[in-house]
């Protein structure tokens, strides 16, 4: 039996289901201390003074960490603009809190109760500063400056000029204009942030935590503690979901600092509310779009201005902006394009990585434009898409050709056919939704498509390490794969196992994975993000396995050990016209949604979703289906009920009772996962990344369905009853 | 969360005595699903709302737990879980909207320990009231942040000073069913109809009902519905389950040949108290319900005073009233 393409069961399934698997919050050590964080809980203020006197006298308190204890008080995944701890002092940057989740102190004590008691007794004197509530206010003259390096509060502006949009629009017979806005989203992973830090047997500061990229966390901890990287060890035990929400540092640095300071193991577990105010969200964005086409449905020009709310700190906002920029006109070949994209500092909770990474926002705008254009042209939306879909060699908005293996038209056709689109002599034709017998219920069917990069973009030196050890005599008894890549719950380690087994021609059960510990997997694998882990680690493992297998055949020594670093083709950053080779490969997806709307209550019910996702090669079809279904549900939450509400930088929805995520009663009645397998020429055994893709086209497919049902366009997310009813009212 | 002292009361008298002895920092607790894991965990407190230090458990009082049907009336102890109410065949048969309203609360897990009394007396969900950064009237502060802030979930009827909506689903049904509350206090027990049980912000902004700090709800009595009684309940939420009402409607009425004789239409989620829509009832009096429902429902517009962002709730209320009246006839 081939290892690849089999739905082998997950080795971690039973332990997780019965509750036996230890997550970082479950770890304990003898002599362990407990830490709690004092969050600022105000959006913008200067800290004038900090009085720890009374707090320090609480019995059981061992130490209280403040800004003064942090050797290098800055961190950040792309831009180190965030203080580890905010506090009074000479450092103007760290003396200010810029969002509710900024941290002021960490209390370390013998018990959680003592730490909490002491935290309540810390006296902080704040001087309230005017709050920057949104990007519009942030860009007004005279707005408070949040970071001295960016006096206009604009962290980054990307400018893309492809062709000549004036000339392009002059050729257009039909021009569609639209304004769109989308909200933030909380990751709501099952396991809130938690970690345990200690000094290990080699005197290193070790941190066991839930993250997405052990080596990056190691580097950021070392940077803040002014230690050489090798004096810091990061271990990821079982991880309770991530979705991008663990890309940024949460508890890691302060725990390392506490362990270093006390010499004892220190544990910290955030509450759900701390998690919701403490880590970044999906970027809320606004769009203004113009799209022009000729009467026969050829796209000729597009203009987009997009603004993303970066929040208080950069996090991954610059990278998300890059993605949002190159996807701002969707997966189409348009000769004349002009895009201006801005990410702007505010006093909101920082925005950062979240499944799709700028693609869902941009595709909502771009695909809504396509659906409106189809309506304006009197053309079927599938027909219009197929006329303009990116193909091998098409020029991206960055003027670089698409990498080989583009399957956009293929997934569009498969998806459309599966939900009942018909090819007729006049072209593709949308099926009519069967209408229920009710005065207030209406049904419709909508369509959208998307593409998304796999791996890191814009000149980042993408790479991934793996080591394969083959044990045995004449036959292979056992294989150990060392690869740092984290299994955040997506099943990466099973994919590693299957890929190694395939490369070695053995059963997957013989493969053991050692991972996500910087001490035992010394080479970086990069982050479990950007739909890249199967692709990157798969290639590294395949490379190492093939190398090891050659040694196994040629050499006498046992075991054989081979290490391999995979380097995909290089990418480049955008220049001032947006010219670049942004990515080395993409994934392609199309979705059709059948939805029902209650025009009196504003309720939206998703009856059926068909998702055709080109995964190149399904390493484990069951896991692929799980990713598709999970992404669809998560996207439905973002599009309909998930509503992260901030008022002047304060979070009004800090609980899962107010920030509503879908339950089993809210999710689609049916999801058809269509696994398309057009091999990626660069992928391991043809596999592409796929974890983000099914999220991306859902929202515009849903609003297209609602338009089919009601004749009304829904251009602003989320579609809570209030939004739905107001939109129906406005367009009535 | 701060630690607290817990007292297991064994009788109603003992619970009242403990409340009297300890004063305003003591509270009655049953399931604790909101008091402990909501109010206390989230440190909801203010000048007029001290943080509870002593909790008096009433689930240990036998007479406060259970469902009894006698003399054509239903009596439910305040410490009876919502699950028991949902599971009761008697309630489902004779008072189905009480069963449905209880089943519309939270999740099965929470209903297993949340109680009827707790549901009726729970504190509002207003995000300013619950938020630590807002010293609002209801906590003894001097402002209602909903007036100038995001008020999409706030009151459209009867708000003044404070614009919360009453969060209880069972209260909506009980008021429609013309139920009575038995209240115990230092001077003994008394019965109060739910018509007068709930109090608006003008009477006392610090509470939502007439219970004084040393009083507690002992049980609820629901009369047997008259012959030809029709009833229906519907609750609209942002999420299908495990959410509070954007608007709920409970209707209980008697009819003859489709003509309204007498009854009640009560709305939840729209007003600081469960709101009896008398304008709707009056518009139905003596009329064919099916024909008059739409017009009667629309009468709610004459009493609604929506805020800046919650006008949509008026439309929802109109639609739901009509649907509930119609569905009760089926």
- Looking at residue B270, which CATH number applies to its domain? 3.30.390.50
Q: What is the pLDDT of residues A691-730, one digit of tens each?
A: 999 999 999 999 999 999 999 999 999 999 999 999 999 9
Peptide bond into A559 cis (omega under 30): yes
**Section A629-648 average pLDDT:** 97
Q: Give the pLDDT confidence score for residue A2 in this predicted structure.
A: 84
Q: Do A595 and A697 have their domain in common?
A: yes
> Does residue A8 fall inside a structural domain?
no
Among the candidates A239, A255, A278, a domain finishes at: A278
Q: Give the pLDDT confidence score for residue B1 in this predicted structure.
A: 81
> Which residue from B42, B125, B312 is facing A725, i.e. has the nearest CB?
B312
Number of domains observed in the structure of chain A: 3
Chain B CB within 8 Å of residue A295 CB: no
Chain A residue with minimal CA distance to B42? Answer: A273
Q: Do A498 and A440 have their domain in common?
A: no
Q: Do A308 and A328 have their domain in common?
A: yes
Cα B146 → chain centroid:
21
* A269 contact partners, CB below 8 Å, separation of at least 6: A25, A192, A193, A194
Tell me if A578 sits within 8 A of A325, measured CB to CB.
yes
> Does residue B126 fall inside a structural domain?
no
Q: Give the pLDDT confidence score for residue B309 in this predicted structure.
A: 96
Cβ separation of B152 and A722 shorter than 8 Å? yes
Q: Do A612 and A700 have their domain in common?
A: yes
Range of the domain at B251: 229-329
CB atoms within 10 A of CB A220: 24
Tell me if B273 sits within 8 A of B201, measured CB to CB.
no
Chain B CB within 8 Å of residue A111 CB: no
Cβ separation of B319 and A647 shorter than 8 Å? no
Q: Do A273 and A292 have their domain in common?
A: no
> Does residue B277 fall inside a structural domain?
yes
> Which residue from A41, A650, A663 is facing B239, i.e. has the nearest CB?
A663
Q: Do A307 and A166 have their domain in common?
A: yes
Average pLDDT along chain A: 97
> Does residue A7 fall inside a structural domain?
no
Cβ separation of B240 and A726 shorter than 8 Å? no
> Does residue A537 fall inside a structural domain?
yes
Q: Is the dihedral of CA A204, A210, A216, A222 positive or negative?
A: negative
Residue of B239, B248, B297, B309 to mutate for A, most A C-beta atoms under 10 A: B239
Tell me if A35 sits within 8 A of A108, measured CB to CB.
yes
Beta partners for residue A195, in sequence order:
A209, A268
Q: Which residues of B touch A603 (CB under 8 A)?
A: 236
> Which residue from B42, B240, B316 is facing A663, i.e. has the nearest CB?
B240
Q: Which residues of A touch B245 (CB under 8 A)?
A: none
CB atoms within 10 A of CB B108: 12
* A595 contact partners, CB below 8 Å, separation of at least 6: A443, A444, A446, A604, A605, A606, A607, A702, A705, A706, A709
> Does residue A13 fall inside a structural domain?
no
Q: Give the pLDDT confidence score for residue B2 in this predicted structure.
A: 85
Q: Do A429 and A526 have their domain in common?
A: no
* Alpha helices, DSSP H, located in A188-311: 214-225, 252-262, 272-278
Q: The CATH number of the domain where A495 resides is what?
A: 3.30.365.10
Residues 623-652 of A with CB under 8 A from B: 641, 643, 645, 647, 650, 652
Q: Which residues of B touch A347 (CB under 8 A)?
A: none
Q: Give the pLDDT confidence score for residue A1 in this predicted structure.
A: 55
> Does residue A625 fall inside a structural domain?
yes
Q: Give the pLDDT confidence score for residue A26 in this predicted structure.
A: 96
Q: Do A287 and A200 have their domain in common?
A: no
Structure tokens at A657: 């009772």
As a whole-number percent, the residues of chain A with pLDDT over 70 amount to 100
Q: Do A590 and A660 have their domain in common?
A: yes
> Does residue B35 fall inside a structural domain?
no
Range of the domain at A113: 18-22+32-39+45-129+191-278
Cβ separation of B320 and A662 shorter than 8 Å? no
Residues 72-131 of B with CB under 8 A from A: 125, 127-128, 130-131
Separation of alpha carbons A34 and A118, rounded Å: 12
Q: Do A264 and A286 have their domain in common?
A: no
Strands B54-57 and B26-29: parallel
Among the candidates A259, A278, A297, a domain finishes at: A278
Residues 248-287 of B with CB under 8 A from A: none
Chain A CB within 8 Å of residue B241 CB: yes
Q: Give the pLDDT confidence score for residue A166 in this predicted structure.
A: 98
> Does residue A145 fall inside a structural domain?
no
Q: What is the pLDDT of residues A318-363, one digit of tens each?
A: 999 999 999 999 999 999 999 999 999 999 999 999 999 999 999 9
Q: Is the dihedral of CA A714, A718, A723, A725 positive or negative?
A: positive
Closest CA to B65 of B110, B108, B12, B121: B12
> Does residue A139 fall inside a structural domain?
no
- Within 13 Å of residue A379, how many CA atoms lie on the same side as its CB? 24
As a whole-number percent, the residues of chain B with pLDDT over 90 amount to 98
Under the banding of pLDDT at 50, 70 and 90, the label for residue A127 is very high
Among the candidates A221, A246, A278, a domain finishes at: A278
Under the banding of pLDDT at 50, 70 and 90, the label for residue A591 is very high
Q: Which residues of A touch B243 (CB under 8 A)?
A: 660
**Section A135-153 average pLDDT:** 98
Q: What is the pLDDT of residues A16-47, one digit of tens each?
A: 999 999 999 999 999 999 999 999 999 999 99
CA dihedral A283, A286, A292, A296 (to 10 degrees): 60
CB atoms within 10 A of CB A392: 12
A&B contacts, CB < 8 Å = 69
Q: Give the pLDDT confidence score for residue A89 in this predicted structure.
A: 83
Q: What is the pLDDT of residues A204-254, one digit of tens each?
A: 999 999 999 999 999 999 999 999 999 999 999 999 999 999 999 999 999
> Which residue from A440, A652, A721 is facing B150, i.e. has the nearest CB?
A652
> Which phi and psi (to 5°) does residue A423 adopt?
-85, 125
Sole residue written with tokens 């004084």 = B212
> Does residue A412 fall inside a structural domain?
yes
Q: Give the pLDDT confidence score for residue A732 in this predicted structure.
A: 78
Q: What is the pLDDT of residues A171-189, one digit of tens each?
A: 999 999 999 999 999 999 9
Q: Which residues of A touch B309 (CB under 8 A)?
A: 722
**Section A267-272 average pLDDT:** 97
Residues 243-282 of A with CB under 8 A from B: 273
Chain A CB within 8 Å of residue B36 CB: no
> Which residue from A42, A650, A666 is facing B239, i.e. has the nearest CB?
A666
Q: Do A249 and A273 have their domain in common?
A: yes
Beta partners for residue A107, in sequence order:
A36, A64
Cβ separation of A721 and B238 shorter than 8 Å? yes
Calculate the alpha carbon distances from B56 to B2, B9, B28, B206 in Å: 16, 6, 5, 21
Q: What value of ipTM does the predicted structure carry?
A: 0.95
Task: Give the gap in angstroms from C-alpha A38 to the nearest C-alpha of chain B.
Answer: 14
Q: What is the pLDDT of residues A428-437, one digit of tens each?
A: 999 999 999 9
Q: Do A262 and A118 have their domain in common?
A: yes
Number of domains observed in the structure of chain B: 1
Residue of A36, A602, A640, A653 to mutate for B, most B C-beta atoms under 10 A: A602
């Amino acid at each position: 039996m081939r290892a690849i393409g089999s739905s082998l069961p997950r080795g971690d399934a039973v332990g997780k289901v019965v509750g036996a698997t230890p997550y970082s919050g479950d770890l304990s050590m003898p002599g362990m201390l407990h830490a709690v964080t004092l969050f600022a809980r105000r959006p913008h203020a200067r800290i004038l003074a900090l009085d720890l006197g009374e707090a320090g006298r609480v019995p059981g308190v061992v130490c209280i960490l403040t800004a003064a204890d942090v050797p290098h008080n800055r961190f950040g995944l792309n831009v180190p603009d965030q203080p580890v701890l905010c506090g009074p002092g000479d450092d103007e940057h760290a003396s200010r809190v810029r969002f509710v989740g900024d941290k002021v102190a960490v209390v370390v004590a013998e018990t959680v109760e003592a730490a909490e008691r002491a935290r309540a007794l810390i006296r902080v004197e704040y001087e309230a500063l005017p709050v920057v509530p949104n990007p519009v206010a942030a860009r007004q003259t005279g707005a408070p400056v949040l970071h001295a390096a960016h006096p206009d509060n604009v962290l980054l502006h990307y400018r893309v000029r492809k062709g000549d949009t004036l000339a392009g629009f002059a050729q257009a017979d039909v021009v569609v204009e639209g304004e769109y806005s989308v909200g933030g989203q909380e990751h709501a992973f099952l396991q809130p942030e938690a970690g345990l830090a200690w000094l290990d047997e080699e005197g290193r500061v070790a941190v066991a935590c839930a993250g997405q990229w052990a080596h990056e966390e190691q580097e950021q901890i070392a940077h803040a503690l002014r230690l050489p990287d090798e004096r810091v060890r990061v271990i990821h035990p079982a991880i309770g979901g991530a979705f991008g929400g663990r890309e940024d540092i949460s508890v890691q640095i302060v725990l390392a600092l506490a362990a270093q300071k006390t010499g004892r193991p220190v544990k910290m577990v955030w509450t759900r509310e701390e998690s919701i105010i403490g880590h970044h969200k999906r970027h809320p964005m606004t769009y203004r779009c113009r799209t022009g086409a000729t009467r026969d449905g050829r796209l000729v020009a597009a203009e987009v201005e997009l603004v993303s709310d970066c929040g208080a700190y950069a996090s991954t906002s610059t990278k998300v902006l890059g993605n949002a920029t190159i996807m701002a006109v969707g997966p189409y070949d348009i000769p004349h394009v002009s895009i201006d994209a801005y990410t702007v500092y505010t006093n909101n909770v920082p925005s950062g990585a979240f499944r799709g990474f700028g693609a869902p926002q941009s595709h909502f705008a771009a695909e809504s434009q396509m659906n409106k254009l189809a309506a304006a042209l009197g053309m079927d939306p599938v027909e219009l898409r197929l006329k303009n879909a990116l193909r091998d060699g098409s020029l991206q908005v960055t003027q670089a050709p698409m990498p080989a293996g583009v399957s956009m038209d293929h997934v569009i056709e498969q998806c459309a056919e599966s939900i009942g689109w018909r090819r007729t002599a006049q072209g593709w034709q949308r099926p009519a939704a069967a209408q229920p017998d009710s005065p207030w219920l209406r049904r419709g069917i909508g369509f959208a498509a998307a593409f998304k990069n796999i791996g890191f973009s814009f000149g980042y030196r993408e790479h991934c390490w793996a080591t394969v050890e083959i044990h045995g005599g004449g036959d292979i008894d056992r294989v150990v794969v060392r690869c740092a890549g984290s299994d955040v719950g997506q099943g990466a380690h099973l994919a590693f196992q299957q890929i190694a087994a395939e490369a070695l021609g053995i059963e997957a059960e013989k493969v053991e994975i050692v991972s996500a510990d910087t001490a035992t997997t010394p080479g970086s694998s990069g982050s479990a993000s950007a739909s890249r882990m199967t692709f990157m680690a798969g290639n590294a493992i395949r490379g190492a396995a093939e190398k090891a297998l050659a040694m196994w055949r040629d050499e006498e020594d046992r075991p054989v050990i081979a290490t391999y670093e995979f380097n995909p083709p290089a990418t480049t950053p955008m220049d001032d016209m947006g010219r670049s080779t942004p990515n080395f490969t993409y994934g392609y997806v199309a979705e059709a949604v059948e939805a029902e709307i209650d025009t009196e209550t504003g309720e939206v019910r998703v009856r059926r979703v068909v998702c055709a996702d080109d995964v190149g090669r399904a390493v484990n079809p069951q896991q692929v289906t799980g990713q598709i279904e999970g992404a669809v549900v998560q996207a439905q939450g973002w599009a309909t009920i998930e509503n992260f509400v901030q008022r002047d930088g304060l979070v009004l929805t800090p609980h899962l009772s107010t920030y509503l995520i879908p339950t089993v009663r809210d999710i689609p009645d049916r999801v058809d996962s269509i696994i398309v397998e057009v091999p990626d020429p660069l992928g391991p055994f043809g596999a592409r990344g796929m974890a983000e893709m099914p999220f991306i086209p859902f929202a515009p497919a849903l609003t297209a369905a609602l338009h089919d049902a009601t004749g009304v366009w829904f251009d602003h997310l989320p579609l809570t009853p209030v939004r739905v009813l107001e939109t129906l009212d406005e367009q009535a | 969360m701060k630690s607290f002292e817990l007292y297991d009361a064994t009788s109603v008298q003992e619970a009242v005595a403990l409340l009297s002895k300890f004063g305003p920092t003591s509270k009655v607790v049953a399931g604790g699903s909101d008091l402990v894991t909501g109010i206390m965990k989230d440190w909801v407190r203010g000048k007029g709302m001290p943080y509870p230090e002593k909790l008096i458990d009433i689930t240990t009082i036998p007479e406060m737990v259970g469902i009894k049907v006698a003399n054509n009336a239903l009596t439910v102890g305040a410490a009876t879980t919502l699950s028991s109410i949902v599971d009761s065949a008697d309630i489902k048969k004779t008072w189905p909207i009480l069963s449905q309203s209880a089943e519309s609360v939270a999740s099965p897990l929470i209903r297993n320990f949340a109680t009827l009394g707790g549901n009726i007396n729970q504190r509002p969900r207003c995000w300013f009231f619950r938020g630590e950064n807002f010293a609002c009237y209801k906590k003894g502060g001097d402002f209602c942040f909903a007036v100038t802030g995001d008020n999409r979930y706030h009151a459209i009827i009867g708000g003044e000073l404070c614009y919360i909506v009453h969060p209880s689903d069972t209260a909506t049904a009980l008021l429609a069913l013309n139920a009575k509350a038995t209240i115990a206090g230092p001077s003994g027990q008394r019965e109060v109809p739910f018509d007068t049980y709930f109090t608006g912000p003008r009477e006392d902004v610090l509470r939502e009902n007439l219970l004084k700090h040393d009083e507690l709800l002992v049980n609820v009595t629901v009369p047997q519905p008259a012959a030809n009684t029709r009833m229906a309940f519907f609750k609209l939420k942002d999420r299908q389950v495990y959410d509070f009402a954007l608007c709920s409607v409970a209707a209980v009425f008697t009819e003859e040949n489709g003509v309204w004789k007498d009854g009640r239409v009560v709305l939840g989620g729209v007003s600081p108290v469960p709101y009896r829509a008398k304008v709707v009832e009056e518009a139905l009096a003596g009329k064919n319900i099916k024909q008059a429902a739409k017009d009667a429902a629309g009468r709610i517009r004459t009493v609604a005073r929506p805020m800046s962002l919650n006008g949509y709730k008026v439309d929802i209320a109109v639609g739901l009233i009509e649907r509930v009246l119609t569905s009760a006839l089926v």
